[in-house]
Amino acid sequence: MKKVKQIVLALAFTTLTSIVIAGCGTQQAAAPNDQSKQPAATQVAKATYVGTETCKACHADKVPDVAMTGHGKAFKPLSDFPTTQPLGEITIYDSANTEKAVSTKIDLSKAKVYGVMLNQYVVAEVPKEAGFKDPIYRVAKMEKSGDKYTVVAAGEKDMNKDGKSDWTASSFTCGKCHAPGIATNSPDSGTTTNSPDLGISCESCHGAGSIHVSAENKKGTLDVSSKSCVACHALEPAKDAKGNYTTQNHYGTRDFFASTHYESGIDCLSCHSSHKSNANGQLLKKDNPTEICATCHAGKSFDLKAMMWKNPTDAHGHITADHSFGAIKYADLGDDPATKELDIKNQKVLDIIQKNFPSK
């Protein structure tokens, strides 16, 4: 009997010891105030740019098509533009500095030239020691002369007030859309995820692709949607300091917000393609735009030239066709036909703006 009691006590002690040890282990793992025992915070990987050549490895069928579109041709290397004379030194003034005349000499044969935007503007970096307000400028223009190009001033203003026009370097304010790779790599961009591409590339619309490339299931890159389009082709009208609304002529979707298409959920990629242009060089799904209309409006004919009017007095000369499809008539805007901007004064249109963009 005594021996049985000893065995029972030994088993009880062993069980109790196991419970205490297990309990202590559990308590240590769960202790909320013991920071040294907390698991490390989950690190969320940030996607970086990999470049079009990397995309091409899997999407070789898409890359050549994009290269032939307006997007693909928006930015080209300087070597694509044979010049009438060897590139040399020019003297440029800082157009961003309206307080005083600041100039510097820059040798285009040695300077950090990114390339040529829109077959016109030579985009280059101005050395910091020059004292210019911005790091990157349109320093010159390429003017076609026969089968070659002549380098001319990007802008001309009398900066030093001597009565003569000076060669003026224009601020590179258009890079975000026309050459997003440069904008990403700019010293002022605040990012270290530099893009190997300078112009509009796969990642300009899809997003930085490193996570997508490294993922086994190929997830991690944004699909192209209308959100990608309106990042540059602004949907909403502009608003000036006085509170006046102005239709987006330069790069916008030109009053699409007021169309019945927008109200019914039709978006950019319902009619436009993202990778391949049609026979006319347009990013449209059909060579004849009215054929696109027929996919929904079978049996009807449309005069798109009348419905998608253009404002010939657009201040920038980059005229985007109206996408309201007749929902807004020029005369109804209440604007002066001679104006270079279309101020929206019509109350019906103003009501649509307030409905679709309440924060504007």
* pLDDT of 252: 80
Using CA atoms, how far apart are residues 224 and 261, in angstroms rounded to an integer? Answer: 19
Above 50 in pLDDT, residue 38? no
* pLDDT of 39: 43
Above 70 in pLDDT, residue 4? no
* pLDDT of 5: 42
* pLDDT of 7: 39
* pLDDT of 28: 35
Residue type, 52: T
Q: What phi, psi does 64 have (nearest 5°)?
A: -60, -35
Above 90 in pLDDT, residue 148? yes
Using CA atoms, how far apart are residues 125 and 172, in angstroms rounded to an integer? Answer: 10
Above 80 in pLDDT, residue 152? yes
- Pick the closest to residue 172 from 187, 161, 192 (CA basis): 187
The model's confidence at residue 320, banded by pLDDT at 50, 70 and 90, is confident
Mean pLDDT of 288-302: 91
What sign does the CA torsion over 98, 104, 108, 110 have?
negative
* pLDDT of 47: 83
* pLDDT of 76: 94
Selection from 8-22, 46-60, 173-187 with the highest mean pLDDT = 46-60
What sign does the CA torsion over 59, 64, 69, 72 have?
positive
Above 90 in pLDDT, residue 286? yes
Above 80 in pLDDT, residue 183? no
Tell me the sheet residues that pair with 344: 245
* pLDDT of 86: 94
Using CA atoms, how far apart are residues 259 and 307, in angstroms rounded to an integer? Answer: 11
Of 15-29, 62-76, 169-183, 265-279, the range with the lowest mean pLDDT is 15-29
Other Cβ atoms less than 10 A from the Cβ of 249: the count is: 23
